[in-house]
Structures are given as C-alpha cells and as structure tokens.
Amino acid sequence: MKKLINEPSAVVAEALLGIEAAHPDLRIDHDNKIIYRGDTPRTGKVGIISGGGSGHEPLHGGFVGLGMLDAACAGEVFTSPVPDQMLAATRTVDSGAGVLHVVKNYTGDVMNFEMAAELAAADTGVSVESIVTNDDVAVQDSTWTAGRRGVGVTVLVEKIAGAAAEQGRSLKEVADLAATVNAEGRSMGLALTSCTVPLAGRPTFELGEDEMELGVGIHGEPGRKRVALAPAAQIAAMLVEPILADLPFRRGDTVLAFVNGLGGTPQIELYLMYNEVNKILAGHGLQVARSLVGSYITSLDMAGTSVTLLRLTDELLGLWDAPVRTPALRWGA
C-alpha cells in the first residue's frame, strides 16, 4: 500500500488537523470529528449538516462554508459517523430555524442520521428535516444500501440547499428544494482501478488490466458489470445513456453536467471526458447551462469517473450561481 499516511488508524484524525491548519475560517471539533463554519449558527438561518464515511474528500468537509454546509461529520474511512456526532453538529448549527440533514443513501448513514434526528427532537426540540440522496442509476440494491446509492447529486444538493438557507428560507422550503434536486438528478460511475482502504492495506476489489467496473459505487461496491477497457467516447456513452433514460431527460431540457473524478484520475482526463459527455448531451438536444468538472466526490485513490446530470429550472440555476465560499467550491463571495 503506497499512501501518504502514518498509522492507518489515524488517517482521519490527522487529515482533520491538516484541514484545521489550512482553513482558518473553519472550526474542528476533534473529539467528535466535526468540521464547522467558524461563523455558525447565524440567527434565523436554517442549519445544514451532512456527513458520512471519510475517503470521499472534498465531500463533505470541503463543502463547509458560506452558501453550503454549516457542518460535516466525518466517520472513519468508508464508515458512517455515529449518531452522537450528528447530534452534536445539529445542536451547534441550530439557530432556532431548524436543521436539514443531507444523507447519502447507505444503510448505516440513514440509520444513524435518523437516530440523531430523534435525539435532537426529544432532547432539545430542534426541528430536523432530512433529505436522503439516491441518484445512482447503476443498481437497485448494493453492498450497504437498500435502494439506490446516493452519490454525485449530493454535492449539488448541498450547494443548492445551502444557497436557499443563506437566503433565509424556511426549513420546509430548504428541505423541499433539496428533495427536488435529488429527484431531478441522476448519476453513474465507472472504475478503472480499485481503491485501497488504509486499514485494509490492499485493493478493495480485483480488476484485470483490461477491465473496468461499470456502475461502481463510491466504496468500490460492485456495479452493473465488468466490461472491457474502452475509449473515453464509449465510456461516456455507457454512463450518460442510462442516466438520460432513467429520469428521463428530454430534448430541450436544461441541465447541469457534472463530470467527477474518483480520486486517482488527473484533470486532463476529466476534461477529455467532459468533452465526450457534452457531445452526447448535444446530440440529445439538451442545453448544458452549467458544468462542474473535477474531483468532488471521491473514493480514496480510485481511478475512474462519474457523471451526474441535474435538470435545471431558473430557480435551481439561480441558487447554483449564488455565492459560495468553501475550501472546494468558491465563487461570487
């Protein structure tokens, strides 16, 4: 295992120390492994928290800041945070306007966020709403998930709900918007290589030199099938066509197109992939109003990519464009 780490069991705790040192706007609760905005809570603003296993950086801690998340709970690598973490974050970010939990659809995350929401309500009377993202069209059930997995759309939910909260909208409105983004978004991923979990010390799955995993999950869960290595143009079609068919997206729809790297893939390949995705979308008569190209929801060192499409309305577009200032996404502020 070749990684820039010390003890495998200390990776998350030590990375949090680095985030704290690099980003003076953020506050870290090291005991609870929570990354907060330094200026939270703000009276009247709905709080938004997320969290999940580590290893998907910049998701979620890199999205804490103005216009996005108020806090992110970091679990150990590929392991859900515990309810106490989510409860502590919920309490801290609540200003009285309530808190939205953004939860990717993995069994552990869903269960623990539910428990935290119940504890928050019983204990301190904080109003909590939850959005469970489930945008991955690859498979219906998978390792650790009943139903579809929550993947790339989570980034878009956090941005758009975050902008709505910043505008002072109510908890119900923010939660409804988050649900809309999830409902209008679809994703699919592909791995060229496995990732390696530090504590495991070896690749999560074996993949031949001439094979790819189509529909892979962000922890290396099996996808739809093993396929032979293919050119980027064919890979783009393998990812985009199932996404388009699923919503379905229709000619004339306006979309946000998000080409994501899985952690070990360089930017030159992502831009090349984006060109292929863009050509397919144009061929289907879709209008790409906004794009995002980069590694925003990753699987440690996995080489590969995922594509997420979000059908946009003027309202969603305006919220996407609204100011954001986080370590990983920043514009207009």
**Which residues form the interface with its own copies (CB under 8 A)?**
2-7, 11-12, 14-19, 21-22, 54-55, 57-58, 62, 192-193, 209, 212, 229, 231-233, 235, 263-276, 278, 288, 291, 293, 295, 298, 300-301, 303-305, 325, 330-331
Minimum distance between the CB of residue 190 and its own copies, rounded to whole angstroms? 9
Comparing CB distances to its own copies, the nearer of 120 and 197 is 197
DSSP assignment letter at 75: E
Give min distance, CB of 55 to its own copies, in A.
Answer: 6
According to DSSP, the residues that pair with 52 across neighbouring strands are 74
Q: CA-to-CA distance for 160 and 157, rounded, in angstroms?
A: 5
Closest CA to 181 of 157, 165, 202, 159: 157
Residue 303 or 316: which CB sits closer to its own copies? 303
Q: Which is nearer to its own copies, 112 or 305 (CB)?
A: 305
Q: In what order do the strands lie in the sheet with 185-191?
A: 225-228, 211-214, 185-191, 304-311, 254-261, 287-294
In the block, which residue shows the tokens 């502020």? Answer: 333
Least distance between its own copies and beta carbon 117 (Å): 27
Angle of helix 83-93 relative to helix 107-124, nearest 10 degrees, comes to: 50
User: For residues 26 and 117, which CB has a smaller minimum distance to its own copies in the complex?
Assistant: 26
CB of 130 to its own copies, least distance (A): 26
Phi and psi of 224, rounded to 5°?
-80, -45
Helix, strand and coil in the chain, % to nearest 5: 35, 25, 40
Greatest Cα-to-Cα distance within the chain, rounded to the nearest angstrom: 55
Q: How far apart are CA 262 and CA 62, in angstroms?
A: 15
- Active-site position among 23, 60, 101, 219: 219
Q: Smaller CB distance to its own copies: residue 132 or 259?
A: 259
Measured CA angle at 55 (ends 51, 60), to 5 deg: 30
Distances (CA, A) of 200 to 2, 77, 196: 12, 10, 7
With respect to its own copies, which residue has the nearer C-beta, 181 or 190?
A: 190
Q: Annotated catalytic, 219?
A: yes
Query: At closest approach, how far in Å is the CB of 16 from its own copies?
Result: 8
Report in angstroms how near the CB of residue 44 gets to its own copies at its nearest.
Answer: 27
Task: Spell out a b/e string for 182-200, using b for 16 or more CB atoms within 10 Å of the CB, else e.
Answer: bebbbbbbbbbbbbbbbee
Residue 30 is among the residues annotated as catalytic for this protein: no
- Active-site position among 23, 30, 56, 101: 56
Residues designated as active site? 56, 219
